[in-house]
Amino acid sequence: MLASSMTKRRIWFITGSSKGLGRALAETVLEQGDAVVLTARNPELIQDLAATFSEHTLAVQLDVTKPEEVQEAVKQAITKFGRIDVLVNNAGYGILGAIEEVSNEEVRCQFETNFFGVLELLRTVLPYMRQQGNGHIVNISSVGGFVGYAGTGIYNGTKFAIEGISEALAQEVTPLGIKITIVEPGAFRTDFVTRSLVIADSEIKDYETAIGEMRQGARDILDNKLEFQEPGDPKKAALAIIKAVNSKNPPLRLALGEDAIYAINAKLESVKTELDTWKEVSLNTAFDELVSSST
């Protein structure tokens, strides 16, 4: 246990701290004076951060698909810092391919990391937060957790699932002093495409019209034939997440980026239009005697 000077410093536990948004968030949190449990499948990739902020970090090996490593990482965090104030479920990757193209093995691997890894972590950390009577869980989703796109359906499925359990969890734990925030980033200038995107092994010619251009673009980026300059700044995304965590009334959903705002608004408008268009059909589904008794 660290000295009493740690009592006012929040303890963050961030998965996928070695790269991308996780790395940017870990660096920014440390720069602002909080402590971070840095986690990565390859701990060597976070040793520089751990060395720079040696008194305020704990570097832990963590593959979120391995429950024993999840249990051990949380145990080490509690042993060193005594608590976890903010859990950030950030580790994940994407798979590109039509629903029919992605193999069963690829689907299961995607869900093991993006969904079951998140579930394992939050269920491991929640008992400590319940005992503390406070805490904040930040689940990194995506604009693709709210809007589905051709070619990323399996990835969308994992993120939609995260959003569903997060909504329910917020209702369950808010009375216990625990807050939940779902983060929905658009395109940010990380190495997601080059290091965290997998292209499905199988290709079906009939889907070329729907996703062929997207697939070729991803390949061109991976082969260094095309440079993709995403508009989002990871540092600013990190600051936005910290601002939400600092808020007395943090949002359940935090969209990041103009592209995310545009896509989510378009989806909401589309859902509302369709709901209104089919309202009469939707309402005309009760037993006739119930309709008659209410008129």
Q: How do residues 255-282 score in pLDDT, each as one tens digit?
A: 999 999 999 999 999 999 999 999 999 9
Examine the residue annotation and report whether 128 is marked as an active-site residue of this protein: no
Examine the residue annotation and report whether 207 is marked as an active-site residue of this protein: no
Q: Give the pLDDT of residue 126.
A: 98
Which among 208, 119, 201, 213 has a CA at the least distance from the CA of 154? Answer: 201
Which among 135, 119, 137, 127 has a CA at the least distance from the CA of 67? Answer: 119
Q: Which two tokens stand for residue 218?
A: 């991803």
**Could you say which of 18, 19, 142, 155 is catalytic?**
155
CB atoms closer than 10 angstroms to residue 23: 23
Dihedral (CA of 117, 263, 96, 45) sign: negative
Kindly provide the b/e burial profile for residues 196-227, where b requires at least 16 CB atoms within 10 angstroms of the residue's own CB: ebbbbeeeeeebeeebeebbeebeeeeeeeee
Examine the residue annotation and report whether 8 is marked as an active-site residue of this protein: no
- Cα separation, 197 vs 19, in Å, equals 13
**Could you say which of 17, 142, 159, 166 is catalytic?**
159
Q: Pick 4-256's CATH classification: 3.40.50.720, 3.40.980.10, 3.30.365.10, 3.40.50.2000.
A: 3.40.50.720
What is the identity of the amino acid at 94?
G
Strands 86-89 and 94-96: what pairing? unpaired
Which residues are bridge partners to 95 per DSSP? 198
pLDDT digit string (tens) for 107-157?
999 999 999 999 999 999 999 999 999 999 999 999 999 999 999 999 999
pLDDT at 73 over 80: yes
Q: Which two tokens stand for residue 264?
A: 């989510």
pLDDT digit string (tens) for 161-182?
999 999 999 999 999 999 999 9
Is pLDDT larger for residue 21 or for residue 230?
21
Integer-rounded Cα radius of gyration of the chain:
21
pTM of the model: 0.91
Confidence of residue 289 (pLDDT cuts 50, 70, 90): confident
pLDDT digit string (tens) for 180-233?
999 999 887 776 655 667 888 889 999 999 999 888 888 877 777 656 677 788
Q: Are 152 and 207 in contact (CB under 8 A)?
A: no
**Could you say which of 141, 142, 166, 179 is catalytic?**
141
List C-alpha distances in Å: 67 to 62, 70, 120, 131: 9, 5, 7, 22
Residues near 75 by beta carbon (within 8 Å), at least 6 away in sequence: none
Q: Give the pLDDT of residue 294.
A: 61
Q: State the Cα torsion 99-103-106-108 to the nearest 10°.
A: 90
Ordered by start, the domain boundaries in the chain are: 4-256
Q: Which two tokens stand for residue 44?
A: 């060597």
